Chain A
């Protein structure tokens, strides 16, 4: 597999629901149990014996008719050694499944993957193996044994593991005495110290424990700097931008795009030479220019440093760097020299003290040229340094863009800019409008891309490359586009997640713990009256409808979080699907928004005493709104 760290060929993963004789037997039993639970009036009165026996009688959800879920659908990827790749996608896009397959936690249904070296999966699995009766130290060594890591590897990091997990001397206490959070941290901290060649990380695990996440960051950077390959599953690029510089976008189990990670901040530490082959734009640069840009971008050197080394002046280095960049993207000629220079300085992370990014990137041509340059500099990691100031949306474009407005996501803004420059404002409006229609966009892509390249004044091949890049951006924009809109997009119901009491998203929920449904709503207009309703549906159990008692008024435009705290005892052991309905009222008009399958989870009888300790009596649903 050459020098790739991971190669994935047509990987497919299919899950089954409600099939087979064993499941049928269990299903009959479970339906009977669901009936018993309903008779209990929602109270949690599991007898002591069940708790003592750590019983979890039902392993799978009730029979809902034999069906299959395609979690991964023919995924093919090649990831170079030392890469730091974000696997991005919405819930149920297949990102965690992909990591589970690569971590040998779940076998693929078809296809094949090759992984070079020791793989450490920073997934929830680690804590499943831990023994609450053994000490933290013994558990760390146990995990090393089970993951096939030499004992001495974990032994020499025990101090760091204890520190990272916030254990200190308690590492010699039984793990069952730790809080749930520390218990989980111990598993994750141990995996982080297995000296992996490939590290698989689920961002939710780290990101939802802010204090732990901060401490993990240093270790993750250390692992990446040692040359390990990092695969980071996340819903949004922002939290992983500090670790990753490349991204793979998944949707419905398919790779919809690959490319640099927007907003990545960390400069690439491995030279582009480690990649299979440089793209044509880079190859065309002179050796001296290439070295110069590489030194500036890859190694994070500044003009002054480099000037001293080369025996010249910082201004001379600046001029040469500008010239190299202009050679890369010659179509910047329509911009004046000062703007071009300012853009290059900004991209190379060396802006003049008086440079104002808002002014430099004020015009669409400037933004388009900068983006094209960014794309061409990507192999150097320049994309990691680029941060465009957020532009105020053009009201005309915003209205035309429908699903992408307002406010424009950075990626959608890029699309709008590019189209405006290349097609002119009128056609841009039409194109953005058409872009919301997949079929029309496809036609636009096939028929008009040559016109776009010509209008933008770029060579044929570069135009095509840029357009492909924009398609990826569009995919990203769609991914970030609110899921449902009312009043021409002025109210959006963005997402809903089920979390535990600590705010950590959960896919499986023990029955005896509180849960929180967190709904994100965005309003672009003030004074909207909003009222939410949650509907939790499960086969074999009565649907649970929870309505917000009083509407709330979003006085200012912005993003709001509505949390509904579901007390323990409301749910039955079943597979639930959550539907969210939002009723919005503005200026006497009312609209109804809905996320039909906003989240899904498995409610189950707790498997361990950790969950049993959290028994709380059933109480009313508590609602909370935060801006």
Chain B
């Protein structure tokens, strides 16, 4: 028994509303790591290679895509080597897609705990950031290795530092917020039917080709450019590239579309998620 004067804890009903969720999530923050680890283990459970799959997945994706787009199709990325260019772009895309995909699956994977005790479901959703962050970490290591290799071979660092560097974290933040917003809508339904996660996975595959991930925005034919510019992921991708390489175009339409869609999706998603949570609360 602790010797210090024990703290008196007050147990009260769960207050309704959206704003009170944030301090509540902070109080239950231990669970974010717990749920995140559960999700991360999903990447390699029942495999022979085990945790090796965590770095192996991005490596395989980057190598095959760089070979197809940079090698076979010869996509031109200007002065930046395609491998480096794609590594960077795909790092952000994977952060976005993994946050959305694992956010969608988060409640389904965390249900064993959620059905046995009360925990803000947002902690479970935010667990997807752990898996997305871990994979981003793998990309950072790969980028650093690639930078060192190109520094040795080309004698050039390719990185730029300045005011535009701030665009990189802005791009990351927008991508994460947008992904979490979508996951807020999909996660409660994915808990009940696997169709939702299958649909999200296929939709993300299609969305990737509609986003300037494997090709620069300048390569998009004029007739399709508006579609790509209105894609809300375009601005984060371009901002990220601009921040790191000092190269990239962020059209005003892209930025406006991204900000508007993100605001709507995050706001609406949180409301929908909260409503679903309140419905599921105390449901037998």
Contact = CB atoms under 8 A, between A and B. Distances in A.
A17 B283 contact: yes
A57 B194 contact: yes
Interface in B1-16: 1-2, 6-14
B284 A61 contact: yes
Interface string A423-451: 00000000000000000000000000000
Interface string A1-26: 10000000000011111011111011
11 contacts: A19-B283, A23-B283, A29-B192, A60-B283, A101-B11, A104-B118, A107-B12, A108-B12, A110-B13, A146-B30, A575-B284
Interface stretch (B62-70, B109-117, B160-168, B252-260): B109-117
A58 interface: yes
A608 B280 CA distance: 22
B117 A15 contact: no
Interface string B99-120: 0000000000001110111100
B284 A107 contact: no
Interface string A37-62: 00000000000000010011111110
Interface in A192-213: 195-197
Interface of A: 1, 13-17, 19-23, 25-26, 29, 52, 55-61, 69, 100-102, 104-119, 124-125, 128-129, 131, 133, 142, 145-146, 148, 195-197, 226-228, 575, 602, 607-608
Contact of A124 (B34, B116, B192, B282): B116
Contacts of A124: 116
B262 to A, nearest CB: 25
Contacts of A113: 10-11
Contacts of B116: 105, 124-125, 128
Contacts of B113: 128-129
B12 A19 contact: no
A15 B115 CA distance: 13
A483 to B, nearest CB: 23
B276 interface: yes
Nearest to B277: A22
A112 B12 contact: yes
A106 B6 contact: no
Given A112-B10, A114-B11, A196-B1, 5 more contacts: A22-B192, A25-B189, A59-B192, A108-B11, A117-B6
A107 B279 contact: no
A439 B112 CA distance: 47
A61 B283 CA distance: 9
Most buried by A among B14, B41, B189, B282: B282
A574 to B, nearest CB: 12
A109 B282 contact: yes
Given A105-B117, A114-B8, A129 B279 contact: no
Nearest to A121: B117
Given A113-B10, A575-B284, A133 B192 contact: no
Contacts of A105: 116-118
A59 B34 contact: no
A150 to B, nearest CB: 9
Contacts, number: 133
Interface in B204-250: none
A50 to B, nearest CB: 9
A324 B46 CA distance: 72
Interface of B: 1-2, 6-14, 30-31, 34, 37-38, 41, 45-46, 111-113, 115-118, 188-189, 191-194, 276, 279-284
B11 A112 contact: yes
Nearest to B115: A59
A21 B279 contact: yes
Nearest to A197: B6
A114 B30 contact: no
Contact of B280 (A13, A22, A607): A22
A119 B6 CA distance: 11
A16 B284 contact: yes
A117 B31 CA distance: 21
Nearest to B15: A107
A148 B7 CA distance: 13
A105 B7 CA distance: 18
Contacts of B283: 15-17, 19-20, 23, 60
A56 B111 contact: yes
A142 B34 contact: yes
B45 A133 contact: yes
Interchain residue pairs A-B with the least CB separation, the first 10: A117-B6, A20-B279, A113-B11, A105-B117, A128-B116, A107-B14, A26-B192, A15-B284, A15-B282, A116-B8
A590 B70 CA distance: 88
A107 B13 contact: yes
A1 B8 contact: yes
A226 B111 contact: no
A337 B188 CA distance: 75
A35 to B, nearest CB: 16
A102 B45 CA distance: 35
B2 A19 contact: no
A133 B41 contact: yes
A292 B10 CA distance: 40
B280 A60 contact: yes
Contacts of B11: 101-102, 104, 107-108, 112-115
A197 B4 CA distance: 11
Nearest to A602: B284
Nearest to B14: A107
A602 B115 CA distance: 12
Nearest to A127: B116
A349 to B, nearest CB: 29
A186 B30 CA distance: 21
B169 to A, nearest CB: 30
Contact of B34 (A52, A115, A129, A226): A129
B11 to A, nearest CB: 4
Given A19-B279, A104-B118, A107-B14, A197 B2 contact: yes
B192 A25 contact: yes
Q: Which of A13, A21, A104 has the most CB of B within 10 A?
A: A104
A52 B46 contact: yes
A100 B115 CA distance: 13
Nearest to A61: B284
